[in-house]
């Protein structure tokens, strides 16, 4: 195993003050830079953690880390957070010997694993305990060996319990065989993540007992009077009554946020100021990876346009934006050309606007640019709740309250009449909600755009909401990003540079609904947890269309292991190939899958605590007739 061979230069030293401000005592990465032109490369703590070649020895252990002023045990690979940047080359075969050096009595468990996210490989190399292998027991070493058949930006992480939250994640860059369709002078990984001083198992327990713990930003009396001034007294009262009957607050945007988390960029807090160097006029490739457990980030570099050139490791037609939202587990490669000033801020705020992490692009170490204030706190709209402007999406109007409360539990609408004095943004202006009272839509296909639902959702105590009218929302940048004066990336803008790699029409269609109960913090597919269902079965070689319907009021990044997800546009045409498909509330998105990988594969929400709470299925690809 060789260390970084992508640059030369003098050593970079960190002051004690900077170390304390943002770097962990156990050896967090300060820089993840890769430079095609070695004359400008710097050696430093970050690059010491870049490993390249085909032979790798990785040791998973427990290391004390301090990001907040409190030292806590983290799960590390070779002593660092993030884990070392691995650099592979397409067309080679890699050998990775992963050793479990966790101490006896570790709060993070005794067994471990590594999953190579987005990598096409044999099922027994995928690294999911219980599905593809038995896990790596303490004191043992597992030998991962597989051919590298792709290029691009990916990452790797544990698939054992909550170890990913505790630090076991790292970036992965694969150099392609063919020349890339764009040029750049320097190459940096920007890995975003979330850290908690809590034992992640304790955090999960708290989510089960108090799922609204982090929602400190509920509307106040001041908000009420502000809305009265803007929308009128009657409309404001009706709005509050509706949210009250749904038993949800419009500020409930994420399960865990900066009230619990400290956000990191390449293992460094905002105070640590991770810095990437440039010369004016150079092109920089920034490989953004969201290695968080639960956090969506909205990323921008004030003063710079970003040209997106790859999504989830694969090339897309270049699209220039001011900002993008990156879901958990997604990767985006962008090209920027800094000039005109000596420093620019890389600003990544969480989607709920409770916190941020920042770093700097600069001509020399020690510089900073102004850090923008957090954007205004978003408020959930009816669109975000799965209600579009043409129907009653997101609500089961049955009036039944037998689902034990919960946010939006069937949302009985008795007595609510939206006729006049509505806020301009209310899609229900003029609709008489009383007319809907008592008409349960569940399980009915109305033929007029109303969404049908599987029978397993009906009267299900683990389902607190059903989307009634759905749309792809491919052209929607998301809550908090609409009409903010900046050009924001949407899925509709992402177009792969290649045609549909399979070309066949799907032979069959599988529709799955993302479901949950927010007060019980229970999540699943079709109202069922992972423990309750048999695997989905695919025939080897078949082309299948998967249709996902998000019945919940949360956004979910859905990841299918071992196979690509070819996202379709609204006309059913191939749009973009991804390994993680983000699903906003009330959305219905479809993608094609070629079942070209035999074995058992995980299929799950990549919000770690949602997966652990049940939003996961097994997919089994078998020879026909097996």
User: Domain holding 533: CATH number?
Assistant: 2.60.40.420
* Confidence label for 4 from pLDDT (cuts 50, 70 and 90): very low
Give the list of residues 6+ apart from residue 42 with CB closer than 8 angstroms, or none: 7, 9, 10, 12, 31, 33, 277
Quote the number of domains for the chain.
2
- List 2's β-bridge partners, or say none: 52
Domain boundary among 331, 362, 393: 362
**506 lies in a domain?**
yes
Does residue 30 carry a pLDDT above 90? no
**Hey, is 551 helix, strand or coil?**
coil
Burial 384-410 (b: 16+ CB within 10 A, else e): bbbbbeebbbbbbbbbeeebeebbbbb
How many CA atoms are closer than 13 Å to the CA of 616, on its beta-carbon side?
20
Most confident residue range from 102-106, 237-241, 418-422: 102-106
Q: Which comes out higher in pLDDT, residue 254 or 503? A: 503
* Confidence label for 227 from pLDDT (cuts 50, 70 and 90): low
Q: Classify residue 1 as exposed, middle or buried by CB count within 10 Å of its CB (0-12, 13-18, 19+).
A: middle
**245 lies in a domain?**
no
d(CA 25, CA 37): 31
Q: Which comes out higher in pLDDT, residue 554 or 333? A: 333
Distances in Å between the alpha carbon of 515 and those of 345, 586, 602? 38, 11, 18
d(CA 248, CA 254): 13
Span 427-432, average pLDDT? 30
Q: Which of 248-257, 262-271, 375-384 has the lowest mean pLDDT?
A: 248-257
pTM above 0.85, yes or no: no
Tell me whether the omega of the peptide bond preceding residue 131 falls within 30 degrees of 0, making it cis. no
pLDDT in tens, 548-559: 999 998 999 999
| Residues of the chain above pLDDT 70, percent | 75
Residue (of 526, 576, 520) closest to 547 by Cα position? 526
Q: Which of 38-47, 51-60, 455-464 has the lowest mean pLDDT?
A: 38-47
**154 lies in a domain?**
yes
Burial 185-202 (b: 16+ CB within 10 A, else e): bbbbbbbbbbbbbbbbbe
Give the list of residues 6+ apart from residue 205 with CB closer than 8 angstroms, or none: none
Does residue 33 carry a pLDDT above 80? no
The residue count of the chain comes to 626
| Residues of the chain above pLDDT 90, percent | 68
* Confidence label for 111 from pLDDT (cuts 50, 70 and 90): very high
Domain boundary among 362, 377, 409: 362
Distances in Å between the alpha carbon of 586 and those of 186, 438, 515? 40, 22, 11
- List 160's β-bridge partners, or say none: none
Domain boundary among 362, 388, 406: 362
Residues 356 and 503 in one domain: no
Does residue 622 carry a pLDDT above 50? yes
**84 lies in a domain?**
yes
CB 607 within 8 A of CB 557: yes
* Confidence label for 17 from pLDDT (cuts 50, 70 and 90): very low
pLDDT in tens, 116-158: 999 999 999 999 999 999 999 999 999 999 999 999 999 999 9
Q: Is 244 left (phi over 0), alpha (psi -120 to 50) or beta?
A: alpha
**314 lies in a domain?**
yes
d(CA 202, CA 453): 34
Span 240-258, average pLDDT? 63
List phi, psi (to 5°) of 47. -70, -20
Q: What is the pLDDT of residue 469?
A: 85
**522 lies in a domain?**
yes
How many CA atoms are closer than 13 Å to the CA of 382, on its beta-carbon side?
22
The single residue listed with the structure tokens 């992640």 is 200
Positive or negative torsion for Cα 451, 607, 590, 125: negative
Structural domain boundaries, residue 523 = 499-622
| β-strands 323-326, 297-300 pairing | antiparallel
Q: What is the pLDDT of residue 49?
A: 87
**404 lies in a domain?**
no
Residue (of 195, 177, 505) closest to 357 by Cα position? 195
Q: Which of 97-101, 476-480, 618-622 has the lowest mean pLDDT?
A: 476-480
Does residue 40 carry a pLDDT above 50? no
**493 lies in a domain?**
no
């Amino acid at each position: 195993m060789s260390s970084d061979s992508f640059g030369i230069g003098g050593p970079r030293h960190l002051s004690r003050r900077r170390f304390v401000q943002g770097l962990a005592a156990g050896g967090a990465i300060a820089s993840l830079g890769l430079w095609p032109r070695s004359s400008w490369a710097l050696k430093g703590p970050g690059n010491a953690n870049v490993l390249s070649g085909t032979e790798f020895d990785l040791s998973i252990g427990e290391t004390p880390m301090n990001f907040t002023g409190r030292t806590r045990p983290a799960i590390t690979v070779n002593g660092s957070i993030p884990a070392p940047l691995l650099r592979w080359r397409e067309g080679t075969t890699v050998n990775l010997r992963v050793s479990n050096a966790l101490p006896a009595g570790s709060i993070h468990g005794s067994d471990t694993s590594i999953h190579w996210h987005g990598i096409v490989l044999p099922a027994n190399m995928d690294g999911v305990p219980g599905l593809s292998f038995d896990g790596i027991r303490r004191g043992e070493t597992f030998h991962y060996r597989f051919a590298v058949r792709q290029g691009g930006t990916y990452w790797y992480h544990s698939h054992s319990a909550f170890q990913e939250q505790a630090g076991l994640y790292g970036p992965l860059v694969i150099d392609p065989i063919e020349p890339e369709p764009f040029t750049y002078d320097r190459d940096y990984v920007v890995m975003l993540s979330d850290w908690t001083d809590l034992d992640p198992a304790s955090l999960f327990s708290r989510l089960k007992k108090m799922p609204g713990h982090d929602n400190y930003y509920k509307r106040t009396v001041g908000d009420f009077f502000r809305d009265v001034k803007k929308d009128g007294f009657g409309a404001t009262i009706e709005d509050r009554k509706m949210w009250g009957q749904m038993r949800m607050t419009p500020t409930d945007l994420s399960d865990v946020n900066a009230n619990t988390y400290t956000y990191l960029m390449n293992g460094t807090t905002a105070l640590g100021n991770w810095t990437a160097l440039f010369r004016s006029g150079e092109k920089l490739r920034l490989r953004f990876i969201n290695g968080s457990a639960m956090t969506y980030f909205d990323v921008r570099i004030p003063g710079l346009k970003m040209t997106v050139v790859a999504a989830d490791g694969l090339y897309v037609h270049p699209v220039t934006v001011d900002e993008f939202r990156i879901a958990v587990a997604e990767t985006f490669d962008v090209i920027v050309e800094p000039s005109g000033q000596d420093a620019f801020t890389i600003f990544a705020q969480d989607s709920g606007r409770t916190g941020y992490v920042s770093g700097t692009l600069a001509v020399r170490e020690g510089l900073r640019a102004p850090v923008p204030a957090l954007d205004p706190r978003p408020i959930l709209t009816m669109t975000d709740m799965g209600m579009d402007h043409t129907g009653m999406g997101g609500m089961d109007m049955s009036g039944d309250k037998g689902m034990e409360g919960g946010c939006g539990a069937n949302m009985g609408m008795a007595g609510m009449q939206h006729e006049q004095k509505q806020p301009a943004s209310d899609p229900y202006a003029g609709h008489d909600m009383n007319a809907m009272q008592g008409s349960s839509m569940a399980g009915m296909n109305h033929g007029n755009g109303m969404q049908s639902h599987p029978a397993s959702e009906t009267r299900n105590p683990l389902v607190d909401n059903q989307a009634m009218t759905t749309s792809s929302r491919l052209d929607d940048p998301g809550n908090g990003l609409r009409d903010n004066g900046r050009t924001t990336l949407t899925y509709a803008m992402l177009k792969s540079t290649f045609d549909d790699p399979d070309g066949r029409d799907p032979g069959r269609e599988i529709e799955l609904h993302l479901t949950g109960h927010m007060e019980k913090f229970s999540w699943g597919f079709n109202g069922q947890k992972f423990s309750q269902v048999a695997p989905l079965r695919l025939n080897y070689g078949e082309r299948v269309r998967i249709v996902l319907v998000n019945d919940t009021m949360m956004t979910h990044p859905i990841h299918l292991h071992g196979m690509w997800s070819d996202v379709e546009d609204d006309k059913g045409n191939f749009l973009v190939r991804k390994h993680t498909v983000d699903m906003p509330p009330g959305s219905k998105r479809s993608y094609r899958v070629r079942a070209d990988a035999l074995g058992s594969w995980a299929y799950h929400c990549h919000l770690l605590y949602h997966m652990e709470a049940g939003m996961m299925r097994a997919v089994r690809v078998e020879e026909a007739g097996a």
